[in-house]
Structure 1
Amino acid sequence: MTYAASIITKAGFSINPELQSLIVPVSMICGSVVPIDLVEKTGRKPLLIGAFSVSAVSLSCLASALLVQWSGATVPSWVLVVTIATAVFSYTAGVVPIVNIIILNDMFKFQVRGKLIGLIHMFIWNCTFLQVIFFELILSALGLYSVFFMSASVNVLGALLVFFLIPETKGKTTEEIEDILAGNKSATPETAFFFQKPIGR
């Protein structure tokens, strides 16, 4: 999302500047509407897996289009616009609201929720900072298409991690989620600290 406009320019596509500036915000606004209704109907896990999967496919298509262009062939300009818009849409529709807000609030009790979510968001923004730093370095070393093949791989990994490791939190209490994460066994002292220990005790 950070480099959407510059990516279009680097790829050599000529698009109206006004349209170029609207691609990301319009996609984000449209994507943010999706989880409002679907998250309680489908559950968190299917929507999150779907968001990672759609993002992986769109980024793979984007990387393939850039690779084809790099080899000397011509790629329609709309392909780049559609793939970027789809990736941003799916990320905003699933990953941002479900991971950053819903699942984190479902999993942690209110006594420790604020501090833990703050730490997690700090980690996320540190990763974003590193991404901004290393984007140009990876771009120069491996090419633009390689960056998006790597991004698509990260999304595939995200979908697999959600499928195998993340429990469905819809309609479950914190205690039920804790039991699932503990394999239906009694919570360990570490788990008890994160889920049960009130601040100040």
Structure 2
Amino acid sequence: MNTRLDSEGSGIPHQDPELPPDTKGPHSRRLGLVAVIVTFGGLLFGYDTGVVNGALDPLTDDLGLTALTEGIVVSNLIFGAAFGAMIGGVLSDRHGRRHNILLLSLVFMLGTLGCVLSPSWQVLALFRFVLGLAVGGASATVPVYLAEIAPAERRGSIVTRNEVMIVTGQFAAFVINAVIFNLWGETDGIWRLMLLVALLPAIGLFLGMLRLPESPRWLVAHGREDEALAVLSQVRTPERARAEMAEVHRLAEEERVAKTAGRVDLGVRWVRVLILIGAGLGFCQQFTGINSVMYYGTQLLGDAGFSGDSAIIANTLNGAFSVIGIAVGVSVINRLKRRTMLLGGFALTTTFHLLVGLSALLMPEGTLKAWFILVFVVLFVFSMQATIGPLVWLILSEMFPLKIRSLAIGISIFVLWMANALVALGFPPIVKALGISNTFFAFAAFGVLALLFIATCVPETKGRSLEELEDDFRTRYSTPAPLREEGSTP
């Protein structure tokens, strides 16, 4: 067994163990069950962010919402998620991944019941914020749990299931809303039933997590090695579990060292630039306007010319093509360069923004105009989810050195959530003031700026080590040394 310094030169012995193969058996089925139960957190994330899409029209009629208060009700969940991601990460590190997911399932239940029983839009907005805390906490905790319990060979595919469950949750929300609205749309307060459905997966998550183990890496980091080995033995062969303990030790130590660095490095120029690029990626991803469609798609299609019943059914296409898009993206993401795929994605989304805007501006009112807008919106959603959506998360996971990774990703994700919230808050009043065409022209303008930003600032991360990326940024952004001594001959 060889040892070397880890990629950041921290002095931690890095072990390259020859692990026994990850063979199939009862432990594989156990791991699959763990992944299904834990990704209920992603399903809830998707359902709770998507359910307001179809519920907004009856909710607006019932509670008397204006364009501004619509934005507040919708965006409050996203503002809550920004803070929930930060709080969830801290609680997860302190009390354990499993403990935190159990707590989040209770917050999901509380937030859902509070929303369903809300007598006014102010109370609804408050409980949407509570629900957002759970959504953000899940976004920070579920992928970590999955990554820490999965074998290295399957880590990528297992962690990616959470992203698939998020878009599946949004699609499920659109379909369930359409069914409920078309069956009982005339019933007062029907939006409450749409929101109540989210209680079922929240209960499933809570009951399921009661039977699941803690993350082995977290247990090792807290000195509970016998428990960690017992957990690994549930989801590995006995030989693999024992061999993998050394790797778990190393990763836990790397995580401990990473948390002792970070803030002091903000004084270094190239580190600040790298973090700003990460934050910029999060901002650009959200200002594609993807969540204006995922949150307000039914209203958007209604404004485009569809009737109420037709709009909520047509909106399910956005959910379906979101799922198809993420499936396509995951299948090709490792075959193309990151920057090439990202630039192509923004070129496509910007083109479809322009086509939506031109259709809304130039075509006469009627069914044909509504269908043109629907087709271009669906193609935008597909292009976004097949490229920019998963790519931004992947690049963020690849571009930061270990010693600043926790801090840098935390800042980037916070900016991403806040940009998401700004789009959610501003979309209804902006569409009311400017119309569909000018709103999508504005998204297209942001797309052009994003293309310039990516072309000039974002590094290629595919196939490059962290050392190479760090050297590039040190060279490009470190303060240059003086060319000559003062008073010397030029």
Q: Where on the TM-score scale, by shorter chain, does this alignment land: which range?
A: 0.7 to 0.9
- Structure number, greater radius of gyration: 2
SS in structure 1 of the partner of residue 464 of structure 2: coil
Given the alignment, which residue of 99, 102, 108 partners 2:394?
Answer: 102
* 1:110 CA drift (Å): 2.9
Moved more, 116-125 or 143-152: 116-125
C-alpha distance in 2 between matches for 1:5 and 1:72: 18
C-alpha distance in 1 between matches for 2:472 and 2:316: 43
Given the alignment, which residue of 309, 313, 338 partners 1:44?
Answer: 338
Q: How far does the alpha carbon of each residue in 1:70-101 deviate from its partner, in whole angstroms, 9 at most, with x for none? A: x65874432111111111111111111111x2
The number of aligned residues is 185
Letter in 1 for 2:355: C
* 1:9 CA drift (Å): 0.3
Question: Given the two structures, how large is their TM-score scaled by the length of structure 2?
Answer: 0.35
Q: Counterpart of 2:305?
A: 12
Q: How far does the alpha carbon of each residue in 1:89-145 deviate from its partner, in whole angstroms, 9 at most, with x for none? A: 11111111111x211111112333223212211111111111122222222322221
C-alpha distance in 2 between matches for 1:111 and 1:88: 35
Q: Kindly indicate whether residue 320 of structure 2 is the aligned counterpart of residue 26 of structure 1.
A: yes
Q: Counterpart of 1:150?
A: 442
Unaligned residue ranges in structure 1 (runs of 5+): 190-201
C-alpha distance in 2 between matches for 1:49 and 1:84: 19
Question: Given the two structures, how large is their TM-score scaled by the length of structure 1?
Answer: 0.82
8 Å Cα contact 1:63/1:146 also seen in 2: yes
Q: Kindly indicate whether residue 468 of structure 2 is the aligned counterpart of residue 176 of structure 1.
A: yes
Q: Counterpart of 1:123?
A: 415
C-alpha distance in 1 between matches for 2:329 and 2:384: 11
* 1:5 CA drift (Å): 1.2
Letter in 2 for 1:78: W
Q: Counterpart of 2:278?
A: none
Unaligned residue ranges in structure 2 (runs of 5+): 1-293, 480-490
8 Å Cα contact 2:322/2:382 also seen in 1: yes
C-alpha distance in 2 between matches for 1:86 and 1:95: 13
Q: Counterpart of 1:87?
A: 380
C-alpha distance in 2 between matches for 1:28 and 1:74: 24
Q: Kindly indicate whether residue 471 of structure 2 is the aligned counterpart of residue 161 of structure 1.
A: no
C-alpha distance in 2 between matches for 1:16 and 1:72: 16
8 Å Cα contact 1:47/1:94 also seen in 2: yes
Q: Counterpart of 1:188?
A: 478
8 Å Cα contact 1:65/1:75 also seen in 2: no
Distance 1:50 1:4, change over 3 A: same
Moved more, 18-27 or 45-54: 18-27
Moved more, 41-50 or 138-147: 138-147
Q: Counterpart of 1:114?
A: 406
SS in structure 2 of the partner of residue 168 of structure 1: coil
Q: How far does the alpha carbon of each residue in 1:54-84 deviate from its partner, in whole angstroms, 9 at most, with x for none? A: 1011111001011124x65874432111111
C-alpha distance in 2 between matches for 1:78 and 1:12: 8
Letter in 2 for 1:50: G
Considering Cα pairs closer than 8 Å and 6+ residues apart, tell me whether 1 or 2 has the greater RCO.
1
Moved more, 133-142 or 144-153: 133-142
Given the alignment, which residue of 356, 367, 370 partners 1:77?
Answer: 370
C-alpha distance in 2 between matches for 1:18 and 1:187: 50
Q: State the Cα RMSD in Å.
A: 2.2
SS in structure 2 of the partner of residue 42 of structure 1: coil
Q: How far does the alpha carbon of each residue in 1:9-28 deviate from its partner, in whole angstroms, 9 at most, with x for none? A: 01222473563231221111
Letter in 1 for 2:399: M
Q: Counterpart of 2:132?
A: none
Give 4+ residue runs of structure 1 displaced > 6 Å after superposition. none
Letter in 2 for 1:47: M
